[in-house]
Structure 1
Amino acid sequence: MNYKLLGKSGLAVSELCLGTMTFGNTTNEADAIEMIDRFVDRGGNFLDTADVYVSGRSEEIVGKAIKKRRSDIVLATKVRMTTSSNINGVGLSRKHILDGVEASLKRLQTDYIDLYQVHVWDHATPIEETLRTLDDLVTSGKVRYIGCSNFFAWQLMKSLAYSDASRYVRFVSIQPQYSLVSRQMDREMLSLCLEEKVGIIPWAPLGGGFLTGRYTRDEPKEGRMTTKVGESAWINRASDQNFSILDAVVEAAKELDKTPAQIALRWLIQREGITSPIFGASKLEQFEDNMGALGWEMPTEIWNRLNSASALQDDYPNRFIEKFRRPFE
């Protein structure tokens, strides 16, 4: 296992992050704890959960699993989504964040959270209120670093600028959807993160399962892709472009004697700016397959081939900016 620093911080995290969204749902408690044990035994130290995953059950399982090895873990969780029917049981207000952190600490059986992330932007709450509250949590010791997820580039930049101007702690990371079949972040967010030294922790690195190679062009009758709404809905994945990308992944897997999932994860691990892709697994067999992305290097020629196959269409303002780039830029 290799390690990278998380954004503009001295915190070292493993090159893969174990996501726990399925824990307590499609992954039973025994298998979930086994996955965490195997992950940590192989050098993994980065775990990601959220207060809304399986209505808090994911946090409970994670807390139970890491209780005796807490100092070995970089523990990440999130706040923002609806956690109660109360009118203030959602959002990034001071009240909801303070209520949320106490509830998460209790479920996780710990007195601190390494990385506390806001799950998505809250248009109803001024960002200055959110950042002041997060800064107070870091000062109190209940939280050590803060991050964000599912932001636009302007939202992240506004947050960083406000933190700098107010001398608050700043977001050290962002958790966006990012994979070979979801590269919208390349338009602005990736370059912003490189410029501001914000760590990138991609979720859905396998495109919600699309890049595992188990799906054909026929609409599936079972599995995650059968959902009618959300990012993993078949209608959002089954495009001609995505299947062309999948074909390239499968071809690379055959050339390198790897699985499609390992190829997709390895492409991300070697992508500039990516800190630690978050992978999940419902079964131990899937966990082992994903862990096979570690310990080898994808040849540059194959990496470039996948990069070209999945690249976004060159559009404005990129074309315009490149046209007038100076020779020494």
Structure 2
Amino acid sequence: MRYKQLGRTGVKVSAMSLGTATFGVAPLEAACDRLIGRAMELGINMIDVANSYGNQARFDRPGAPAWTQRRSAEEIVGRAIKGRRNALVLCSKVMEPVGEGVNDRGLSRRHIVEQLEQSLRRFGTDHLDVCYAHHPDPSVPIEETIRAFDDLIRQGKLRYYALSTYPAWQVVEALWKADRLRASAPACLQIQYSLARRDPELDIAPICRAYGLSLTVFSPLAGGLLAGVSKRSESFVGRRRWGGTDFTAREIALAEELERLAARHGHSPSTLALAWLMAQPFVASAIVGAEALAELEANASASNLDLSADVMAALDEIGRP
């Protein structure tokens, strides 16, 4: 496993992280401990969680316990990492709804502080390494959110905070406001980025270069689109995982182009897609939500793959914005 620096923090993170959005469903809770253990054996030191992952109805699937009978992903991870937490860069998120109350969501100081305390209890730890603002909250001034995270850092309950799914202009606003407040700045950004979604190269990547930020990337295989024809034909891939539509004709054509290139060079499509992504200088880690050990091991192998200049050039033409 290769390691890259997380922004300007000095913290080294594995080029592949373990995603946990569907923990308790795929994989089932009984298999999560072994999956996390194997991830650590492979050198993965970063686990990506959120306070809204796992036990919500949107993750329900046939053959898995209903959301009312599942633990949260934070609880599942907390049980699995007991005794080995300090070897990990443990990340969670706050903003999405976690209850029916009007204040059970958002990025107010009240909600951030309350939810971080609950996350710490669920994980069984006294601090998080990174807490992301899961999405922008237009109802709360960014100054309030920054000050809340900065106070938690000063209290030792949080090492860094970061931004997830923020558009470029709001990233720059957060950086400027943090500087004006003399508060901690976001350590990194989390966005969706892959060969099938290259638009961050137009605005987010230049911000990373200018301000020394790095990316942690979710859906690096575009929800299974780039994992080969058998994977993308499964029932729960892409937008279908959340009750959405099938892949578009353009997306399938892009995936087929990748599959032809992979076949010519003797690699799986997912290995090529991940190796290309990890080679991007502004990407610190690709978050892969592996549902089985074999899938985890196959994807982790991409970290050590050095692609030739010709292959990188051919991949760069796929999905170019």
TM-score (structure 2 length as normaliser): 0.91
Whichever residue aligns with residue 223 of structure 1, its letter is F
One-letter amino acid matched to 1:140: Q
Equivalent residue for 2:237, pick from 224, 231, 234 = 224
Q: Does 1:138 align with 2:153?
A: yes
CA-based RMSD: 1.8
Which residue of structure 1 aligns with residue 297 of structure 2? 288
The answer to which of 198-207 and 49-58 deviates more is 49-58
Q: Which amino acid in 1 is paired with 2:288?
A: F
User: Which residue in 2 is equivalent to 1:302?
Assistant: 311
Q: Offset at 1:287?
A: 1.4
| 3-state SS of paired residue (1:147) | strand
**How far apart in 2 are the matches of 1:211 and 1:177?**
14
1:15-164 matches, cutoff 5 A = 15-55=15-55, 57-164=72-179
Distance in 2, matches of 1:228 and 1:171, equals 30
1:267 aligns with 2:276: yes
In structure 2, how many angstroms separate the alpha carbons of the residues matched to 1:97 and 1:4? Answer: 28
Residues 152-191 of structure 1: matches in 2 within 5 Å? 152-191=167-206
For the 8 Å contact 2:223–2:239, the answer to whether it is kept is no
Aligned counterpart, 1:319: none
In structure 2, give the amino acid aligned to 1:171.
Answer: P
For residues 74 and 263 of structure 2, the distance between their equivalents in structure 1, rounded to whole angstroms, comes to: 38
| Gapped regions of structure 2 (runs ≥ 5) | 56-70
Alpha-carbon distance in 2 for matches of 1:229, 1:73:
29
Q: Structure 1 length normalisation: TM-score?
A: 0.89
2:38–2:293 Cα contact (<8 Å) kept: no
Give distance in 2, aligned partners of 1:225 and 1:114: 29
State the distance in 2 between where 1:159 and 1:125 align: 13
* Residue aligned with 1:18, SS: strand
SS where residue 73 of structure 2 aligns?
Answer: helix
Higher relative contact order (CA 8 A, sep 6+): 2
Q: Which runs of 5+ in 1 are unaligned?
A: 313-329
Q: Tell me how far apart the structure 2 counterparts of residues 189 and 52 of structure 1 sit (CA, whole Å).
A: 25
Name the counterpart of 2:67.
none
Whether the 8 Å contact between 2:54 and 2:72 is mirrored in structure 1 is: yes
Instruction: Using the TM superposition, give the Cα deviation of residue 220 of structure 1 relative to its aligned residue in structure 2, in angstroms.
Output: 5.0
Shift of 1:73: 0.3
Q: Deviations over 1:223-271 (max 9, x none)?
A: 32472967x731xx3232x233212321232233221111111110111
1:233 alignment counterpart: 245
Q: Report how far residue 157 of structure 1 moved.
A: 0.3
Question: Displacement, 1:39?
Answer: 1.2
CA contact (8 A) 2:75 2:122 kept: yes
Contact 1:244 1:309 in 2 (8 A): no
Q: How does 1:237-248 map to 2 (within 5 A)?
A: 237-240=247-250, 242-248=251-257
Structure 2 counterpart of 1:250:
259
Aligned to 1:316: none
